[in-house]
Structure 1
């Protein structure tokens, strides 16, 4: 009987050059807001125009990329994002989270977002702007490193030990890596508190506050985070106690809607 090692080795021999070209194109364009022209694409991917021209045409016909009128630059559309949000677990989470986060944001006058774990990092799947004139928010679809973000600390702290080790083993090489002792202290503190509150490692003047959202199995499904900013002109009157109370209540309501008891 074939063992797991042999099975993995056998799977690695398969190759689909055309599919790989298409995926290379999508991955390249996903990080380019303004898109790229054919010369830039062929240079980046080290492929000829002949190899990629037909692939670009098909991806555009299927709606995955577009070329704005009067431009020669190819850029991503939101079709992949739309497909990802049709995935049942994410679709259910976002549908129930949106109204609750809208209410939370307007109550505390701060932006908020929801982060899930996938393949070694967090991903923002719901984002709600503050009603205030001045806001700080995180882009929908943005990635969150696990070891130095509020959401990452929550996702790690409230995952079972075996899953946590797997999560840490899959952290991308270009993301901050974990310091075992320091991370153990963070996990212990977050578990004891039941939430996380930490000065942002990505932006000055931001205090990230987060609460866990659990699913029907009692596992963490997402991290609800508020990137709190304080206004020096006194225009923001919501106290920190009110923010914590409302965040905790919102996270609990989301959890209950997901079947958590």
Structure 2
């Protein structure tokens, strides 16, 4: 039992910034393991949420459960102290909600929030998931995926959350190209009525998109100069 546990943990340690995803065969070769044994381990981790398998490439990468564990570690060693104060300062200056979103498979998952002090504000909960094709916080991540991945996400099905939600392949791909070219995303009323969002991408090692930072609030408080100010502050 202990040997099996040790082997399973060894599998997880192979997922590093340098090698964030693995196919079954290449990982089996790397670890000199039997394919069947390794598949059972990977499948167990996937069922429990510690790994996810990309439907297009069939490669495995870390899943949301890892980030749940990371949140526990952060609370112990105060890693969040490096991020949250900056978000808090930004939300105070802009007077809108600022939140950090991790890419989690075909969704974005909210992991940190600094709420606006205004009485009327955009509210989001930690752990909340949003499809990648809708809203600034997630579309700005989807825009930096390759087109095959984008198409795979769209083909899984799209839902019209509001009248402003883009749902067809043509309009989504066209929008993503514009976002990638601009380097940031602005959305208005796409996921929730009367809410704006300004999202910028965050890249990991090797230039892979891993997260986004977003400013959001009620539409009536956004205007062109404030939009420019928010973008300048969030990028800077």
TM-score for both structures, normalised by structure 2: 0.60
Q: Distance in 2 between matches of 1:11 and 1:245?
A: 47
C-alpha RMSD of matched pairs (Å): 4.2
Structure 2 unaligned spans of 5+: 1-23, 26-33, 49-64, 161-166
SS at match of 1:217: helix
Of structures 1 and 2, the larger Rg is shown by 1
Higher strand proportion, which one?
A: 2
- Deviating more after overlay: 196-205 vs 177-186: 177-186
- Which of 143, 162, 165 matches 2:148? 165
- Deviating more after overlay: 94-103 vs 193-202: 94-103
Instruction: Kindly state the Cα deviation for residue 101 of structure 1 after the two structures are TM-superposed.
Output: 0.5
- Which of 199, 217, 224 matches 1:210? 199
Q: Distance in 2 between matches of 1:81 and 1:15?
A: 18
SS at match of 2:142: helix
Corresponding position of 2:234: 247
After superposition, the Cα gap between the structure-2 partners of 1:231 and 1:168, relative to the gap in structure 1 and judged at 3 Å, is same
Is the contact between residue 155 and residue 222 of structure 1 (CA under 8 Å) also seen in structure 2?
yes
Q: How does 1:23-34 map to 2 (within 5 A)?
A: none
Corresponding position of 2:90: 104
Instruction: Kindly state the Cα deviation for residue 92 of structure 1 after the two structures are TM-superposed.
Output: 9.1
Q: Distance in 2 between matches of 1:137 and 1:158?
A: 26
Q: Distance in 1 between matches of 2:131 and 2:203?
A: 20
1:177-225: CA deviation from partner (whole Å, max 9, x where unpaired)? 9643222211210011111001132222111111112234322231111
1:71-112: CA deviation from partner (whole Å, max 9, x where unpaired)? xxxxxxxx9985241478xx9984432111101000000001
Q: Distance in 2 between matches of 1:172 and 1:83?
A: 31
1:151-182: CA deviation from partner (whole Å, max 9, x where unpaired)? 221111123x2xx6347636896764964322
Q: Distance in 1 between matches of 2:205 and 2:38?
A: 37
TM-score for both structures, normalised by structure 1: 0.55
SS at match of 2:181: helix
Q: Distance in 2 between matches of 1:222 and 1:106?
A: 22
After superposition, the Cα gap between the structure-2 partners of 1:191 and 1:173, relative to the gap in structure 1 and judged at 3 Å, is closer
Alignment of 1:186 onto 2:172 = no
After superposition, the Cα gap between the structure-2 partners of 1:206 and 1:8, relative to the gap in structure 1 and judged at 3 Å, is farther
After superposition, the Cα gap between the structure-2 partners of 1:184 and 1:129, relative to the gap in structure 1 and judged at 3 Å, is same
